[in-house]
Structures are given as C-alpha cells and as structure tokens.
C-alpha cells in the first residue's frame, strides 16, 4: 500500500476518499442495474464491466491531471471556454432530446453520448479562478473586472438552464462562492444575483421545460398530498430509505431498485441507504464532508490565489452536487437530474469529475513540493513568484 501511494502525489486522505467512493460505486451500480439490464436484454455484468472501465479511465485522467502543474490550467481554461460556449449552443439547438431536455451530443465514430454541461462546469470554474486572480489589482473596477466575470457566468447559465436548470443553479451557486472568496464587492454580487434571477424567471416561465419545472416544484411543495404520478419518484425513494432501517437489508437486497426510475444514477443514494442502512448513508455523507474539509485545507495552505480558487471552486462544486443529490433522495428538494459524484453510473460525469479531482490534487502536490523545497531557499522563490505561466 505504501509503495502504491508513493506514486500518487498530493493529499493522501483525498486519494483514500476517492478510492473508497469508487469501490462503493461499483457495488451500488452492480446492485441497481437489474431492471435496466432486463429492459435492454443484457446481463448486469455488461454494465458492471462498462462502469469499471469508466472508473479506471477516470483514475487515469485523474493521475495525469494531478501530474500537470496546476498553473497551466489557467491557460487551458481559455481554451475550454472557447470550446464550451459553441458546444453548449450546439447542444441546445441540435443536441439529443430525452424527456424534453436537450443535454447530450453524440460523439462521431464511437457513437457515444456526451453531456456538455459536465465540460461547462470544469471550464467555468477554472476560467473564473483565472479571471479573479488576474483582476485582483482592479477587482473593484466594473469594466475591467465585473463585466467579464458576470458575462461568463450569465452566458453559461443561459445556455444550460433551458435544458438542465438544476446544474445551472448549482454552477451559479459555486460561482457566487468564488466571487466572495475573490473579493468581489457584495454590491456587485447582488447585481449578478439579480441578473441571474431575471434569467431564471424567463427560463421557468418561457423555457421549453417550463411545465416540467413547475410540476416538480408543485409536487415538492404539496408533499405526499400531491398527484401520485408526479410524486412517484420521491415517494419510492422515501420508501427505500425508510425500509433500510439502521443497518439496511444488505448489499444486493434492495426492492425499490426494481421500482425507482434511474436507481443507478439520480436515486442511487436511496438504494445505498436501503441496502446499507442509515449507518451506511451517514458514512457516505461523512466521506463527502471529509472531502470538502480536505479541499478547504488545500485552499488555506495554497500560497497563491489561483490554486486556492481552483481548489475551492472545484471542491464546492463536487460537494454541493453530492449534497444536492442526497437532499432530493430524502425529500429535502424537488426532483432533479444531478448525479452523485463518483458513485452514480455515468460516462462523462465520472470522467470530468475525475479530472476535477486531479486538478485539486495538482494544487495539493504543489503545496507538498514547496514544503519539501523549503520556504527560505532560492528555488522556492522562483516557484512561488510564477503564479501563472505565460500561456495563461
């Protein structure tokens, strides 16, 4: 074990949390894909093998991402934004439509779907971290700092919200946290919130999925007294959680996996609690809280603003996404399509989540290297002074 960890740089506890979540994901996905396998006439082993390959592919991306100096992601963020905005526009107009939502595009040759909002999350957070770092000297200037930052947030929000409002709101919440950390004035942040609120009202009232959004909110507010068909998912998720008890039914013994839609993705937390009990659910929550704690530790130790903002933005994004998924499962929020990071079955979600972890670990690796070099050495001065490489 020690030999294996010697090749993994960065926060060791973060690596352990990621490995535990990935192994748990294999168990939970294999247990919950039975209905899907039956509908498509395939064996459950097919999905397990596919999910395992995605997990290993994610680890490969994570490993190579954490080896790259985090400062290079400043320049990469510009490239990502240049790709993301046209790609989101293309998805909105020409993307694959499933359940009245155009969120996916099909990758030619391999014929696999790709959810562009996963790329957008990574692009926006890295771009905001870069912009906030570069604009610190003029952070109060409306034209030089506020407008470029607000523009990037609003453009991404507008392009994602019509088809995936929950992800758009999650990204906006993370963006506001970054603006606060980046010393944007409360008055300017209030203007951003007001602008996005207007966009939100327009999307909910005029967007293509307005009936879906209103129905979900009404179902959530009405609780069990609402239309049984509309409350079907949330009711069965509650049944799964309640029947799990304290210790659960045991791995592979869930009954609600045969009833719940998407038990392997959107409602995988309910299946985990049913099989592993309230104790298992509490352990999973603690893992994500510990993940956020390690990210905050990296933020506080990072000697430069860009690394701190990167770790904070990506850490908040992953943790809030996890808490949002679990909140829906236990009935604390309306039904959304947010997956549980590193646990839910998925393709692009796992891969881009792995890249995000790799970037956080890259920041942590840089901190460890600076500690080894020593704060008083000449070499340390050369490393610290260079905040962002020339390409950034």
The answer on pLDDT for 70 being more than 80 is: yes
Encode 57-74: b = buried (16+ Cβ within 10 Å), e = exposed. Answer: ebbebbeebbeeebbebb
Distance (Å, rounded) from C-alpha 121 to C-alpha 357? 13
Mean pLDDT along residues 28-52: 85
pLDDT band at 17 (very low <50, low <70, confident <90, very high): very high
287-332 pLDDT, tens digit per residue, is 999 999 999 999 998 888 899 999 999 999 999 999 998 988 888 8
pLDDT band at 166 (very low <50, low <70, confident <90, very high): confident
Beta bridge partners of 98: 101
Is residue 92 a contact partner of residue 158, using CB atoms and an 8 Å limit?
Answer: no
The pLDDT assigned to 391 comes to 41
Mean confidence (pLDDT) of the chain: 82
The pLDDT assigned to 390 comes to 41
The answer on pLDDT for 378 being more than 50 is: no
pLDDT band at 98 (very low <50, low <70, confident <90, very high): low
**Structural domain that includes position 116:** 8-385
The pLDDT assigned to 392 comes to 45
The pLDDT assigned to 64 comes to 93
From the list 21, 115, 135, the residue with the least C-alpha distance to 387 is: 135
Domain assignment of residue 88, yes or no: yes
The answer on pLDDT for 77 being more than 80 is: yes
- How far is residue 203 from each of residues 61, 206, 215, 390, measured CA to CA in Å? 35, 5, 14, 39
The answer on pLDDT for 348 being more than 70 is: yes
pLDDT band at 278 (very low <50, low <70, confident <90, very high): very high
The answer on pLDDT for 376 being more than 50 is: no
Distance (Å, rounded) from C-alpha 262 to C-alpha 268? 8
Q: Give, in degrees to the nearest 5, the angle at Cα 118 between 111 and 360.
A: 125
Distance (Å, rounded) from C-alpha 285 to C-alpha 228? 29
pLDDT band at 385 (very low <50, low <70, confident <90, very high): very low
The answer on pLDDT for 7 being more than 80 is: no
Higher-pLDDT residue of 7, 349: 349
Higher-pLDDT residue of 6, 61: 61
The answer on pLDDT for 122 being more than 60 is: yes
Is residue 128 a contact partner of residue 178, using CB atoms and an 8 Å limit?
Answer: yes
Mean pLDDT along residues 61-82: 91
The answer on pLDDT for 279 being more than 70 is: yes
| Total domain count, the chain | 1
The pLDDT assigned to 15 comes to 92
DSSP 8-state symbol, 8: S
124-158 pLDDT, tens digit per residue, is 999 999 988 887 777 777 777 777 788 888 888 88
Three-state DSSP at 106 gives strand
Domain assignment of residue 3, yes or no: no
Domain assignment of residue 2, yes or no: no
The answer on pLDDT for 383 being more than 60 is: no
Higher-pLDDT residue of 263, 4: 263
Distance (Å, rounded) from C-alpha 92 to C-alpha 373? 49
Is residue 254 a contact partner of residue 35, using CB atoms and an 8 Å limit?
Answer: no
203-255 pLDDT, tens digit per residue, is 777 766 667 767 766 666 665 544 455 577 778 888 889 988 888 898 888 88
Distance (Å, rounded) from C-alpha 3 to C-alpha 326? 35
The answer on pLDDT for 354 being more than 90 is: yes
How many other C-beta atoms are found inside a 10 Å radius of the C-beta of residue 79? 12
Domain assignment of residue 299, yes or no: yes
Domain assignment of residue 167, yes or no: yes
The pLDDT assigned to 35 comes to 81
Stated as kind and residue range, the H or E segment containing 41 is none
The pLDDT assigned to 362 comes to 93
Encode 91-112: b = buried (16+ Cβ within 10 Å), e = exposed. Answer: bbeebeeeeebbbbbeeeeeee
The answer on pLDDT for 27 being more than 60 is: yes
From the list 290, 323, 310, 302, the residue with the least C-alpha distance to 357 is: 310
Distance (Å, rounded) from C-alpha 251 to C-alpha 21? 15
Distance (Å, rounded) from C-alpha 258 to C-alpha 267? 12
How many other C-beta atoms are found inside a 10 Å radius of the C-beta of residue 247? 11
Higher-pLDDT residue of 90, 95: 90
Strands (E) located in the chain: 96-98, 101-107, 112-115
Q: Dig out the tokens for 107 from the structure.
A: 């990758």
């Amino acid at each position: 074990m020690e030999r294996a960890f010697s090749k993994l740089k960065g926060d060791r506890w973060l690596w352990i949390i990621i490995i535990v979540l990935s192994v748990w994901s294999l168990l939970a996905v294999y247990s919950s894909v039975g209905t899907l396998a039956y509908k498509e006439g395939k064996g459950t082993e097919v999905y397990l093998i596919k999910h395992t390959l995605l997990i290993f592919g994610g680890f490969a991306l994570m490993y190579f991402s954490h080896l790259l100096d985090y400062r290079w992601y400043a320049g990469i963020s510009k490239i990502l934004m240049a790709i993301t905005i046209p790609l989101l526009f293309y998805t909105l107009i020409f993307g694959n439509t499933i359940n009245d939502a155009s969120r996916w595009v099909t990758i030619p040759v391999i014929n696999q779907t790709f959810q562009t909002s996963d790329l957008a999350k990574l692009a926006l957070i890295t771009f905001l971290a870069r912009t906030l770092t570069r604009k610190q000297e003029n952070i109060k200037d409306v034209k030089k700092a506020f407008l470029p930052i607000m523009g990037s947030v609003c453009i991404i929000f507008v392009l994602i919200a019509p088809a995936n409002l929950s992800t758009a709101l999650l990204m906006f919440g993370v963006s506001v946290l970054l603006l606060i950390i980046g010393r944007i004035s409360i008055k300017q942040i209030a203007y951003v919130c007001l602008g996005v609120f207007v966009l939100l009202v327009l999307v909910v009232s005029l967007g293509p999925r307005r009936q879906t959004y209103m129905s979900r909110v009404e179902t959530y507010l009405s609780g069990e007294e609402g239309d049984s068909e509309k409350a079907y998912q949330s009711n069965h998720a509650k049944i799964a959680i309640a029947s799990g008890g304290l210790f659960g039914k045991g791995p592979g013994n869930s009954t609600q996996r045969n009833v719940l839609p998407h038990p392997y993705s959107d409602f995988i937390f309910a299946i985990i609690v049913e099989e592993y009990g309230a104790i298992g659910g509490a352990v999973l929550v603690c893992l994500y809280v510990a993940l956020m704690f390690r990210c905050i530790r990296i933020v506080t130790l990072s000697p430069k603003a860009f690394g701190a903002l990167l770790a904070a933005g990506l850490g908040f994004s992953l943790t809030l996404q996890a808490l949002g998924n679990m909140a829906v499962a236990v009935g604390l929020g309306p039904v959304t399509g947010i997956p549980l990071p590193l646990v839910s079955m998925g393709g692009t979600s796992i891969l881009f989540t792995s890249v995000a972890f790799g970037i956080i670990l890259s920041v942590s690796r840089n901190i460890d290297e600076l500690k080894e070099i020593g704060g008083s050495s000449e070499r340390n001065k050369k490393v610290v002074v260079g905040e962002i490489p020339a390409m950034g």
